[in-house]
Amino acid sequence: MRRKSVLFVLSAGMMVTVLFHARSAMATDPVGFTSTTIAKGQFDEFEVFNRFILPGTAPDWVKRNIWRSRQKIKGLSDGYVLSNVWQPGGTTGWHTHLSHTLIIVTAGTVTQYQAHDPTCTPAVYTAGMTFVDLGGEHVHIVRNEGTVEAQVIAIRLIPAGQPGRIDAPDPGNCHF
């Protein structure tokens, strides 16, 4: 009986210590950022593969001069076209998505930082530039560090009925 009491007291003491010292992992909220759905639709599963041989390429150059695109989806998917807008100083907060997103910058400048990058190296995109947000385990933040409004169009497919955005805690690698 005494042994059980000692184990109980030790366990309770460890739990209190852990709870006292543990910090909650809080998501970082968007500020000065809005995302508006322009179009949404549902896709059945599909598999597509396209290729295009660049004009004027000799046959021995074909392998290096071929454009390829492939996507395979199992199960239903929700497709989105989004208009994202950042006010000067605006931020998405740290987050990820269940799949990749194609981004086209239409106005201003956005700067993306990756949670896994210990040096917090900025990737800067201006109007007319594009990039792919990898989604999945790639937590990131996108900010408008300029003085004018920034806008992008985002195109995304995610599993049907699932959230388009998953908030994440500040990874602590960027000091802003």
pLDDT at 66 over 90: no
Which two tokens mark 100?
């990749």
Task: Give burial (CB, 10 Å; 0-12/13-18/19+) of 102.
Answer: middle
Q: What is the pLDDT of residue 3?
A: 53
According to DSSP, the residues that pair with 84 across neighbouring strands are: 35, 152
Q: Which helix (H) or strand (E) holds 11?
A: helix 2-21
Is the confidence at residue 64, as pLDDT, over 80? no
Q: How far apart are CA 49 and CA 26, in angstroms?
A: 41
pLDDT for position 57: 58
- Per-residue pLDDT tens digits for 16-55: 333 333 334 577 899 999 999 999 999 999 999 998 877 7
Question: Does the pLDDT at position 68 exceed 60?
Answer: yes
* pLDDT tens column, 118-176: 999 999 999 999 999 999 999 999 999 999 999 999 999 999 999 999 999 999 999 99
Q: What is the pTM of this model?
A: 0.80
Q: What type of residue sits at position 5?
A: S
Q: Please, which residues bridge with residue 141 across strands? A: 113
Residue 8: strand, helix, or coil? helix
* The pLDDT of residue 14 is above 60: no
Average pLDDT for residues 3-12, to the nearest whole number?
43
**Count of CB atoms situated within 10 Å of the CB of 25:** 8
